[in-house]
Structure 1
Amino acid sequence: MACDVLVIGGGPVGMLLAIDLAARGVTVTLVEARPAGQLPSVKCNHIASRTMETFRRLGLSRAVRAVGLPDDFPNDIVFRTRMTGKEMARIRIPSRQDRYTATGGPDTDWPTPEPPHRVNQIHFEPILFARAAADPRITILSHCRFVSATQDPDGVSATIESLDDGRTITVQARYMAGCDGGTSTVRKLIGGQLEGDAVIQRVQSTLIDSPALLGALGSGPAWMSYNYNPERAGTVLAIDGIRRWLVHNYLLPDEADFDSIDRDAGIRAILGVDCDFPLEIVAHEDWIGRRLVADVFRKDRIFIAGDAAHLWVPYAGYGMNAGIADAMDLSWLLAAVIQGWASPDILDAYVAERKPITEQVSRFAMSHAARAIRERTTLPPEIEDDTPEGEAARAQVGEAAYRLNVQQFACAGLNYGYFYDASPIIAYDGDAQPAYTMHDYVPSTVPGCRVPHFVVADGRPLYDLLGAGYSLLVFDRSMDTAPIIEAAARCGLPLSVLHFDRTLDRVPAEYTHNLLIARPDGHVAWRGNAIDDPSGLVDRLRGAAREP
């Protein structure tokens, strides 16, 4: 069996890598250990805005947006003493029916046509699987295990084992990507080791069925509920908005053994119900929050992405979403080489771009985790008392919780603020990219930044106009663009040209130059008012520049 790219791991990261590669004309073999169609565990509960943009580009956003909680179910984050206890604070998040129209809240007015979507992985992963299975460029080897691989200057030869009958399948590919999770076999194959903080938080995680809980809540429903009390702190997520709930029981620092903690008792303490309250444990998957980053992301023709490359406490939902960002960067780089218009050296950009961002995001998550742990383990003892002192304690804790957590649930900085400042395929101009935080984002056209969003005169967002390859944005029609267009054509570099009227199209002030080149992944590759060396610029964009 032969293909252009072999992808190991059929979770959201691996499937989106395969789907995006196929959309670029690349043939893919996707290997997944689960049987075809088997649902994943209830892990990821949030699709970040940047990921929703990817779904939009691939024609999947409407289908993904349509699943999950009921249309009118509040996507709020609420802070209570217990699920059936007193509410202390609430971060207002629009429900699905209001997602595109709501304004003025902490999680509205996103600089994008696709704001985030709160939905569990069990609802959206089947959509990805159906899309991948229907694509003739993708071959899915379900219920199969990656065994080993060797590589030479021309490609990769991998051994795959069928878990149905034990037969061995050999796959020949030009490149291979390991999206096979935290215990990644591919990472071990390329000699990668995870480095960082091995234990930040132990979490006893349980999916329960409890139709009675929705009616027993201490205040209005919410997508995510933080429960803070001196007995047991935990988070509860609404999975279907009716009866399924995911309960995260945060173990105390001295509780090192998952099995020593009574699961049922812990759940009931978080919910605030007695032993007679009806609930059923459906499944559980306990986990350890970490901050670990692989020291190696690539060896020659083999790459890793997602949890195979980094693990951290998934604050702001940026576990899976960071992995998808890896995959989208890797996808267009691999496609560029396979399509023949880029030098193989362009692949050096993957590590140069994604590894520094991984370090930044992981430290954001670790810092937030430390503050959250401190918050829920230093509660006033009177927090549940029905007294003026208890009310004052709840107000204090609620205000602090809101202030801390609104940063991760309205995380424009984490979605749009990050930039690539040391990439070999970006033409920098000496200006510094704006700093960002998990929450704060300053739009900028400094090379390496995300191309700032705007809506043109006919109502279409810029991102719907960008091409699958590079896009030249022209803000002054007097500019002579023929030399760069001709230089791109000589090398086969895909370059679409878009003209804008600064006034009619309401072009933001951040577009300070008359010309800008956007990369396939929406980052600024170059900007200027004249192109002095069009052939040199094209060589830079396709990874063939002679100088760093």
Structure 2
Amino acid sequence: MSVVETDVLVVGGGLAGLTTAAFLARHGTRVLLAERHPSTSMHPKARLVNVRSMELYRALGVEDSVRAAGEPNAGFVLADTLAGEHETWVPPPSDEASGGDLSPTTPYSCDQQRIEPILRARAVDLGADVRFSTTATALTDHGDGVTATLDGSGAATVRARYAVAADGAHSPLCTRLAIGRHGEPVEGTAVSVLFRADLEPALRGRRVDALLARAAEAFLFARGNAAERTWQLGTYLRAEWDPQRVGAYVGDVVRAATGLPELQPVIESVQTWTSGAYVADRFRSGRVFLVGDAAHVMPPYGGFGGNTGVQDAHNLAWKLAAVCRGDAPDPLLDTYEAERAPIAELTVAQALLRSRKAPGRPPLPDQIDATTLVLGFCYPSGHASVTGLVEDPAYPSGRPGTRAPHIELVDGRSMLDLFDPTAFTAVRDPGTAGPSHAHRMREVGREQVARRHRNRWAAVYGGRTVLVRPDGVIAASDGWR
């Protein structure tokens, strides 16, 4: 068996694992990814790509590819059936709410099984060694590195400085490392059905991205484009169903949900799974780090699950890269758990809260709006103490540990596009002394900023120098000591 030496071994080639590998490769870090399945996901999973994930895909250079593979978010509708009268439940995001004013990009609808091949190709283009049909059957942490045995088409003995567990909600690596989790199950067994059918008789020219069909107690999601006529139905296992014969019942649920009693859908696949709201007790064990569903599992309400894994990967990748290059000591990696675990706890709680809210009803008192949750996060790190985990992204504080805000420049670019995704960037008001250790210096004065964003510029950058991390988070600022 061949012996391969690399900087980072990523175990798991789903959304979080592929994103981790791509960002590591973007930093020039040697990375090998092992995924036991023969290909990327075939059955639909996550669909909503939130605005923060789109910002990260923009930095990775795949935003346009994701848009080409998906379509704008059409919102969520509520109805008795697809054929019935539709009422808006969640409207599509407006520019004011989640694009234009707060970000240079917008949320998008793109199925996970379409995004994963894009990430795989990008990771390979950037130099990652990606091996599917390859299972990590053993992994040993030696204290100064890890050794893993890979079986399958990519069989090898791998020696790496660090490993990333991106192997899902029932992570074998977490089991081997005795990493527990805390939280609670979500009642019921979920059933996901991928089917093909011509639903135009029910749609009658209306576009539907996602719908809750009350008559069937099921969700309908459009998958692919209209020409493909592919849909996904989500429901829960009924008490009267034989769990071993779920496929025998789902045609009736599809007919009830669509309001087309004569419909003969072509059932392509049926999957069952048990939801939950869990967070790992640790995000690091020696030289192994957890990302994605290995670190946190949440109900699908809000579409936070896959997006939270993308943001884990982005946070961890630059830190691993810095340590592997010798630019930072190992303790920098401890900030991954310190920053991401509290955000995971909050996000899981918010997803669980949404799962208990009646569809079409106003938000619950403790519910945080999605835009604040994904753009207004506050990491408990930096020179200033953070008193809360979120702030209003429309009024950024500029304190360390928060996302450097989008500010539109008069030339049409976003301030986010000035940041170096592989190094620290210093942004200063002209004439203000900047730190000499920054890899890149940007001077942005008030006159370079679009008028509508000058107050935001003044609050964060006016009269000061701000040091921005490779992940777009403020590391230090003259305005915060």
TM-score, length of structure 1 as denominator length: 0.79
Question: Residue deviations 1:356-375, cap 9 Å, x none?
Answer: 1110000001111111xxx2
**Paired residue for 1:521?**
471
The equivalences for 1:297-376 within 5 A come to 297-371=283-357, 375=358
> Where does residue 126 of structure 1 map in the other structure?
117
SS at match of 1:187: helix
Is residue 427 of structure 1 aligned with residue 417 of structure 2? no
The residue that corresponds to 2:144 in the other structure is 154
Tell me by how many angstroms 1:500 deviates: 1.2
Distance 1:474 1:74 in 2: 36
1:319–1:38 Cα change, 3 Å: closer
Rg comparison, structure with higher value: 1
User: What is the letter of the counterpart of residue 280 of structure 2?
Assistant: A
One of 66, 69, 72 as aligned partner of 2:68 = 66
How far the C-alpha of 1:193 sits from its partner, in A, is 1.3
Q: Is the CA contact (8 Å cut-off) linking 1:47 and 1:119 kept in structure 2?
A: yes
| Superimposed CA distance per residue, residues 334-361 of structure 1 (whole angstroms, 9 cap, x where no aligned partner) | 0010111111110110111111111000
Q: Tell me if structure 2 keeps the 8 A contact 1:456–1:504.
A: yes
Change (3 A) 1:451 1:256: farther
- Map 1:228-247; keep pairs closer than 5 Å: 228-229=214-215, 232-242=216-226, 243-247=229-233
* Distance in 2, Cα, partners of 1:238 & 1:296: 37
* Map of 1:469 onto structure 2: 423
Change (3 A) 1:302 1:327: same
Once residues 227 and 457 of structure 1 are traced to their aligned partners in structure 2, the CA distance between those partners, rounded to angstroms, is 46
Report the 3-state secondary structure (helix = DSSP H, G, I; strand = E; otherwise coil) of the residue aligned with 1:25: coil
Partner of 1:536: none
Equivalent position of 1:220 in the other structure = 206
Of 351, 354, 376, which aligns to 1:417? 376
Amino acid at match of 2:107: P
2:156 match: secondary structure: strand
| Corresponding residue to 1:27 among 27, 30, 37 | 30
Checking the alignment, whether the CA contact within 8 Å between 2:186 and 2:299 is kept in structure 1 is no
Aligned residues of 1:513 and 1:527 also touching (Cα < 8 A): no
Give, as a single letter, the amino acid of the residue that structure 2 aligns with 1:82.
Answer: T
Trace 1:237-276 onto structure 2 (pairs within 5 A): 237-242=221-226, 243-251=229-237, 258-259=243-244, 262-274=249-261, 276=262
CA distance in structure 2 between the aligned counterparts of 1:190 and 1:321, rounded to whole angstroms = 25
The question of whether the paired residues in 1 share the 8 Å contact of 2:202 and 2:260 is answered with: no
Equivalent pairs, count: 466
Please report how far the alpha carbon of residue 502 of structure 1 lies from its aligned counterpart in structure 2 after TM superposition.
Answer: 1.7
Cα separation, 2, equivalents of 1:272 and 1:228 = 11
**Alpha-carbon distance change, 175 to 432 in structure 1, aligned in 2, over 3 angstroms:** same
Whole-angstrom CA distance in 1 between matches of 2:29 and 2:296: 26
**AA at the equivalent of 2:400:** P
Aligned to 1:16: 19
1:452, 1:510 within 8 Å by CA — same for their partners in 2? Answer: no
Distance 1:207 1:431, change over 3 A: closer
What are the Cα deviations for residues 168-198 of structure 1, in whole angstroms up to 9, with x where unaligned? 5210001000101011111112211122112
C-alpha contact 1:249 1:267 (8 A) present in aligned 2: no
Aligned residue type for 1:66: A
CA contact (8 A) 2:22 2:120 kept: no
2:411 is aligned, of 450, 458, 479, to 458
Kindly provide the CA deviation profile for residues 136-163 of structure 1, in whole angstroms up to 9, marking residues without a partner as x: x31122101111111223211001111x
CA 1:140–1:453 in structure 2 vs 1: closer, same or farther (change >3 Å)?
same
Q: Distance in 1 between matches of 2:480 and 2:209?
A: 50
CA distance in 2, matches of 1:530, 1:450: 15
| Counterparts of 1:44 and 1:325, CA distance in 2 | 15
Structure 1 CA distance for aligned equivalents of residues 311 and 419 of structure 2: 18
Which deviations, in whole Å up to 9, do the C-alpha atoms of 1:455-499 show, x marking residues without a partner?
122221011100121111112x33222xx30xx2xxxxx531111
The one-letter amino acid paired with 2:406 is: H
Equivalent pair of 2:120/2:130 in contact (CA under 8 Å):
no
| 1:5 is the counterpart of 2:11 | no
* CA-atom RMSD in angstroms: 2.6
Answer yes or no: is the 8 Å Cα contact 1:77–1:91 preserved in 2.
Answer: yes
In 1, are the aligned partners of 2:410 and 2:449 still within 8 Å (CA)?
yes
**Residue number in structure 1 paired with 2:87:** 88
- Stretches of structure 2 lacking an aligned partner (at least 5 in a row): none
Q: What is the identity, as a one-letter code, of the residue corresponding to 1:147?
A: T
Q: Does 1:501 align with 2:445?
A: yes
Structure 1, unaligned stretches of length 5 or more?
Answer: 95-101, 377-397, 489-493, 532-548
Shift of 1:117: 1.0
Question: 2:69 aligns to what SS in structure 1?
Answer: coil
Q: Do the aligned partners of residues 530 and 202 (structure 1) sit closer, same or farther apart at CA in structure 2, a change above 3 Å counting? A: closer
Partner Cα distance (2:290, 2:480) in 1 = 38
2:259 and 2:51 mapped to 1: Cα distance? Answer: 34
1:546 corresponds to: none
Give 1:272's aligned amino acid.
G
Tell me the distance in 2 between the aligned counterparts of 1:15 and 1:500: 35
Bigger drift between 446-455 and 194-203 goes to 194-203
Q: CA deviation at 1:24?
A: 0.7
Shift of 1:404: 4.1
Residue 57 of structure 1 is matched in structure 2 by 59
The equivalent of 2:107 in structure 1 is: 116
Q: C-alpha distance in 1, partners of 2:444/2:285?
A: 42
Contact 1:197/1:290 (CA < 8 Å) preserved in 2? Answer: yes
Match of 1:143 in 2: 133
Check 1:64–1:530 CA distance in 2 against 1; reply closer, same or farther (3 A cut).
Answer: closer
How far apart in 1 are the matches of 2:389 and 2:186? 32
Matched, 1:285 2:229: no
For 1:514, the aligned partner's letter is R
1:204–1:251 contact (8 Å) kept in structure 2: yes
2:433 alignment partner AA: D
